[in-house]
Each structure stands twice: as structure tokens, then as C-alpha cells.
Amino acid sequence: MLNKEESGENILHRAADGLPPRNLLTWLIGRPLPTADAPHQTIGKAVGMAVFASDALSSTAYATQEMMVILVFSATIAYGYVIPLSIAIVALLAIVILSYEQIVHAYPDGGGAYIVARDNLGEIPSQIAGAALLTDYILTAAVSISAGVAQIVSAFPVLFPHRVFLSVGLLFLILLINLRGVRESGQAVSFPSYFFVGVIGLTVIIGGYQYLTGSLGTVINPPPLETIHATQAITLLVILRAFSSGTAALTGIEAISNGVTAFKEPRGRNAGITLIWMGLILGSLFLGISFLGVHISAVPSAHETVISQIARTVYHDQNFLYLATIAGTTTILILATNTSFADFPRVSAILSKDGFLPRQLAFRGSRLVYSRGIVALAVIASLLIIILQASVTLLIPLYAIGVFLSFTLSQSGMAHRWFKSGKLAPGQEIREPGSILRHDSHWKIKLVINSIGAVATFCVMMVFAITKFIHGAYIVLIIIPMLVVFFSLIHRHYKQLANELSLDHYGEPFRIARHRVILPISGVHRGSLAALYYARSLTDDITAVHISVDPDETRKVQEKWDMWGDGARLVVLDSPYRLLLEPLIKYIFNVVDKRQPDEIITIVVPQFVPQHWYHNVLHMQTAFWLRLTLLFKRGIVVTDVPYQVD
């Protein structure tokens, strides 16, 4: 049914018929979803917690261990610093949670640090924020999977040599889950996420009860201390390094602000409540694990995690509850990668729409997710896991700089937003690209909160950059500026292309005053005659060109052309060195250089279309190579005339 639009009699709309075909991909990720189904793919607070908070919650499984790694390398007495440092990290967590709670309300369309920086700090800071977020999500995927496999290895040491293979395999399993769509991936990770919270919460509660009753012992047969420097003095630098490693517990907090659009309406309110829930659970579990880790004298090791030692001590053996704790921790660490798969494609799509990444990343796949971004994340994270051999300790130094850089930029941007809000009169509003700015009567309080958050996260970022610099943090400090340069080059290309294609000040449209056709032929047959008849429909100025490498064959071509050529001229190019494409290209360039103003040269190439696709390897594919060679030459059109062979 055709409907004429009111905007013009010559504009027609027609509904596309048919459904996408079913194939192997359909079987793996599910049937394609129509665009109109997008509102039904949103998620509520409970599922949103599983999708976007699994990364933050999972960091409790290794944050304490990474902090203890630094302290135990100095002296066993340094364990006394674990709990004070944990309290300081939870205080920082509260500040950041409050700051991001403001962001999800102010920017209900998502985008987090990138959008905040874009609207309030400018283009370069927003590109830095975007680079930091993308780097963070890639590292989150690599760290979470590696940490999950480390839990498996703790329970089954025989698998230690296969940890890289296991990590990559599990990563691609999460890839398939996320290609099925936001709602389905959320449902898949919901139970494991809440199971983890339940078993770890139970372990912390039972361990705390045992401590209060004096029945909490120390870990039996702890793994060996993996350092020869366990007696060096404790210094401020060591404490700062331990603090920066422990702040891994804060990674993933920003995920909800980037994925606000995935929540059901009212999006901002639902995302904000989920963020508060996440902060309360995260802070409680982190403090509990740190407390128990100290009091059982856990030893951080690549062969057995601190979580495993706590569960083994609390439950007095590797019994069912121990295995449930390890299973829950392993599952949440692996599925924490889901947060990256939920947010990396969204952030890259926003950057793509703004012209800083390839446009393809902004298109949704058959299941209404940004499938190209999901696949890109899986490939990059896999390479990182392979290069660093799935080592959490090697990955952690690369991890948190990007996180805290995005924290700092988002808090700074929000502080500037509240400052701008204070300058507006009550009732006045300004529409910005990412939100509507209105006067806020509490702008001073919010300005203070975000300013404190910006200063605190900046200090942590600097501590991390300095203390972890020689341990690999320098790599991130190189990668992020490189990404910013990469963004700028892509953006400049798109701007130049837009200017070239713009109809503003276009003037007189291009007119074709003369049309000339060049018809390359290898012989005279039905295919070349079909191309000749097509060329006749364009113009009478046709020149057939034959490359002569065999005089006898050329003589036959001339005789047949006299009979079947319909009066069109034939140019024979002798090629004593048996070159085929090069003489033809040189001839075409010579014709183009001598063409008249407003003249178009069309290269019409006969193309055989065999019955079976694999027969194409038996033919020259001249049209393809001509198109590839002449693509950047102005005033040339290459078209092939297919001749189907039964």
C-alpha cells in the first residue's frame, strides 16, 4: 500500500515486506527484533542491578587481595593497614556514588562521563573521557574473566596451565549471551549475580559471628608467600600503592550512568535507586572481606585467592558451602564482563554518532543491541588476555587509571554544570546537547559534592599513575592520548566529508555535457555484445578496447568485431610483455586527461555470472580490479554488465 506524504506529491512511503532469513546466527542469538520492540527490551531495577552492577560487585572478589599483595610484600605487620585503608576506600566510594547519582538524574539519556564532559568541559576533555571509558571497559572484560578463571584454578589447580584458553572461551560465551539482547542477557546474569551476593554475604555474616564468639581460626595450609622481599620496611609509597590497588573496588560504579537508557521509565529514578543499592552492597561486602582476610591471616596468591581462603576457614573445609562460595564468586567474576558488553557498545555508539568513531558502531544489530561494538570488545579483550596470560596482577595496574580519569572528568563536569545552574534565574532553562539545564536551588551543595569527588578521584588517579607507573600503568598513559588522536582524525575526516557533500552554497548542479564509453573486451561473444547494447543506451560514442598478447587471437577478435560490433570503433593495444590490466589503465588515463569539460567517461565491463559462486575463481574479475584502480580518479564511472551463464 502506497501512501502519499503531505510534504510532497512525489514522496511515497512503502512498508518493506518479508522477514530476515533464518540462518546459523539466528539459531545462536535468536530471531531478529523489529525496531518498534525497543521499548519492550528495557529492564527494571532488579535486572539492571545484575546487568550494570555485576562489575562493581565482582571487584570485591579481588580488590582486597590486590591491596594485600602490596602490603604482604613489605611485612606481615602491614596487615594492620588493610582495614583503615578499606574504610578510606569505602568513604571514597560514598562520595563517588553520590556524584553519579546526580549524573543519572541530570543525564537520563546515558553516556556518563563522556556526555558530562562534552556538555560542560569541551571537546578534548570529552574525547579523553571517551577514551578512558572504552579503555576501562576493555580492561574490565579482561580482568573479570581472568579473575573468574583464577577462582576456578583455586579450586582445581590442575587447570592452571589452561587458564588462558578457559578465559578466552568464557569471554566468547558472554559475547553470545549479549548478542541475544539486553533483556535476555540481563535475565541470564540475574540469578548468578544475586547468588553471589547471597553466598558472600552469608560467608561474611558467619565469619563475623565466629570472630565475635572467638571461634574464627586462621587459614590452614595457606599458599606460600610468593616474594623474596617480605621483610622490607613499610613506607608511605607502599601504603599509597596498596590504597590504589584496593580502589579496584570502585571500578564499575560508572556503568549505570552510561546505560541509563536501558532502564524502564522513569529511567533516571530507576537508575538512581539501582546505583544506591549497588553502593550499599558493595561497601558492606568489601569491608567484610577485608576484615575477615586480615583476621584469618590470608596470604594473597595466584594459586589460591583470598576469597577461597576465607571460605575454607569459615566453613572449616572444602564442603558444599565452600564450593557454593567459589562457584558464586567465579560466576559473578565471569559475568561481570557483561557490564562491559552492556556499556562499551553504548559508549562507542555515542562517540560514533558524534563522529569520533566509525559510523558502523552506531547501528543496532538484529537483536536491537550494538552488535559490532560487542564483537569489537570481545576481540580486543581476548588479545589482551592472551598477551598477559590471564594474570589479574598484571592486568590490575592497567585497570584503574582509566576508571579514575573518567571519574575525575565526570565530577569536574558536574561541578561546572551546577556552577552554570547557579547563574540561571529561577524558571530559566538552557537546552544543551545532552540535557536541559535549569536553575537548581541546591546548586551550591551539589557543587561542593562534585568538587570533592573530582579532587578525591584525581588524587587517587595520580597516586595510581605514580605508584603503578613502572608496573604497566605507563601503557594506559600512552594508549589514552593515542585514542584521543585517533578520535580527532576520524572526526576531522567526517567533518571534511560533510563539507564536501553539503548542498549549502552548492550553486549550479553538475551537468553532463558529453558521455563517452570505453568497453574492454577479451573476445567477441554474447557477454561482450550484451555490454555493447547497454553502452548504446548511454551514448553513441563507444570505444571497444582489446589488449593484444596473441596476434592470431587478435585477428579473430577483429574479424568478429567487424561482423558484430555494430559500427563501434575498436582500439587494439599491443602488449609485448603480456600485461593485461596495465595497458588498459594507461589508455583510460590518457583519455581522461584529454577529456572535455563536463564530460563523463564510463567504463562498461562485461561480467560473467556463473551458475555456482565458486566458479568465479575461474574468471578474471576485471570489473573489480578496474573499480579498485579507478576509484580515486575523478570523472570516471565503472559499471559491469552481468551476463548470467546457465
CATH number at residue 260: 1.20.1740.10
Beta bridge partners of 24: none
- Kindly give the pairing relationship between strand 429-431 and strand 12-14: unpaired
Q: How far apart are CA 464 and CA 357, in angstroms?
A: 28
In this structure, the answer to whether residues 111 and 256 fall within a common structural domain is yes
Predicted confidence at residue 84, as pLDDT, reads 93
Per residue in 281-314, pLDDT (tens digit) is 999 999 999 999 999 988 887 778 889 899 999 9
Tell me, yes or no, whether 434 lies in a domain. Answer: no
Average pLDDT of the chain to the nearest whole number: 84
In this structure, the answer to whether residues 385 and 522 fall within a common structural domain is no
Domain boundary among the residues 340, 356, 391 is at 391
CA angle (225, 228, 233) in 5-degree steps: 100
Strand, coil or helix: 546: strand
Domain boundary among the residues 391, 410, 439 is at 391
Tell me, yes or no, whether 398 lies in a domain. Answer: no
State the pLDDT confidence band at 101, using cuts at 50, 70 and 90: confident
Q: How far apart are CA 38 and CA 369, in angstroms?
A: 10
What is the number of domains present in the chain?
2
Of 117-121, 200-204, 553-557, 633-637, the poorest mean pLDDT is in 633-637
| CB neighbour list of residue 212: distance below 8 Å, 6 or more residues apart | none
In this structure, the answer to whether residues 159 and 295 fall within a common structural domain is yes
Tell me, yes or no, whether 73 lies in a domain. Answer: yes
- Kindly give the pairing relationship between strand 542-548 and strand 429-431: unpaired
Tell me, yes or no, whether 102 lies in a domain. Answer: yes
Tell me, yes or no, whether 28 lies in a domain. Answer: no
Between these two residues, 71 and 358, which has the higher pLDDT value? 358
Tell me, yes or no, whether 79 lies in a domain. Answer: yes
Are 205 and 311 in contact by the 8 Å Cβ rule? The answer is: no
Of 508-522, 525-539, 570-584, the poorest mean pLDDT is in 508-522
Q: How far apart are CA 463 and CA 457, in angstroms?
A: 10
Predicted confidence at residue 431, as pLDDT, reads 87
Are 536 and 566 in contact by the 8 Å Cβ rule? The answer is: yes
Return the CATH number at 518: 3.40.50.620
Q: How far apart are CA 25 and CA 179, in angstroms?
A: 10
Q: How far apart are CA 105 and CA 82, in angstroms?
A: 35
Tell me, yes or no, whether 248 lies in a domain. Answer: yes
Tell me, yes or no, whether 453 lies in a domain. Answer: no
Whole domain around residue 239: which residue ranges? 43-391
Residue indicated by cell numbers 519492550: 40
Mean per-residue pLDDT, 322-351: 87
| Strand (E) or helix (H) holding 177 | helix 163-179
pTM of the model: 0.79
Predicted confidence at residue 507, as pLDDT, reads 67
Domain boundary among the residues 369, 391, 413 is at 391
